[in-house]
Amino acid sequence: MLKKMNIGLIGAGYWGKNLYRNLLISQVVKKIFVLDKQNINIKQNEKTLFFSEQQKFFKNKNIDAFVIATPTSTHFKFISKCLELDKPVCVTKPVTLNYVELLKLKKKYKNINKIFLDHTYLFHSSINYIKKLILKKNLES
């Protein structure tokens, strides 16, 4: 039997609402803690607790892992906070704004292996179609 986890979702906007939907139906997610300034995309329910203040959100000892769905310009800050808490973190989009930020994370945190990069377009139907064409060696279709 899988251990149920509490997930901290940072950002409930354009992409965050989709990740939230998947977390909500997951069999392994016990509770979802959502950090968002406005929270207009998610309805209150018994499985979700909302935060608008970062300080209160990150002080919550019940969060087992984090998912970041915010603009790339904020990733460095949020990844740093998650690694300071020694928690696994899944980041959408580019991991950081640039290579220099990524090097700073690598230099500062020994637990950088707790970062998972979610490339949402990897499973998009257009990508799968291109993959089929490449495997068939038929790029003229």
- 103-133 pLDDT, tens digit per residue, is 999 999 999 999 988 766 655 666 677 778 7
C-alpha distances (whole Å) from 45 to each of 33, 34, 52 are: 11, 12, 16
Mean pLDDT lowest among 1-5, 48-52, 88-92, 96-100: 1-5
Q: Which domains does the chain have, with CATH numbers?
A: 5-136 (3.40.50.720)
**According to the 3-state scheme, what is the secondary structure of the chain?**
CCCCEEEEEECCCCCHHHHHHHHHHCCCEEEEEEECCCCCCCCCCCCEEEECCHHHHHHCCCCCEEEECCCHHHHHHHHHHHHHCCCCEEEECCCCCCHHHHHHHHHHCCCHHHEEEECHHHHCHHHHHHHHHHHHCCCCC
Residue 3's φ and ψ, nearest 5 degrees, are -75, 130
The pLDDT value given to residue 123: 57
> Taking a C-beta distance cutoff of 8 angstroms, is the pair 33, 60 a contact?
yes
* Arithmetic mean of pLDDT over the chain: 88
pTM: 0.82
